[in-house]
Amino acid sequence: MKTDYQNTIILTIRSIREKNGCNQASLAKLLNISDGHMGNIESPKTSHKYTLAQISRICKHFNVPVSQVFGVKATETAAAIDELIDNIVKYTE
CATH class of 4-92: mainly alpha
Q: Determine the straight-line distance between the first and last CA of the chain, rounded to whole angstroms.
A: 27
Please give the mean pLDDT across all residues of the chain.
93
pLDDT at 73: 76
Gap between the Cα atoms of 83 and 24, Å rounded: 27
Binning the chain into helix, strand and coil, the percentages to the nearest 5 are 70, 0, 30
**Mean per-residue pLDDT pooled into runs of 10, the chain (93 residues):** 92 98 98 98 96 95 93 82 87 75
Comparing C-alpha atoms, which of 57, 49, 66, 47 is closest to residue 22?
Answer: 57
Question: Domain limits of the chain?
Answer: 4-92
The radius of gyration computed from the CA coordinates of the chain, to the nearest angstrom, equals: 13
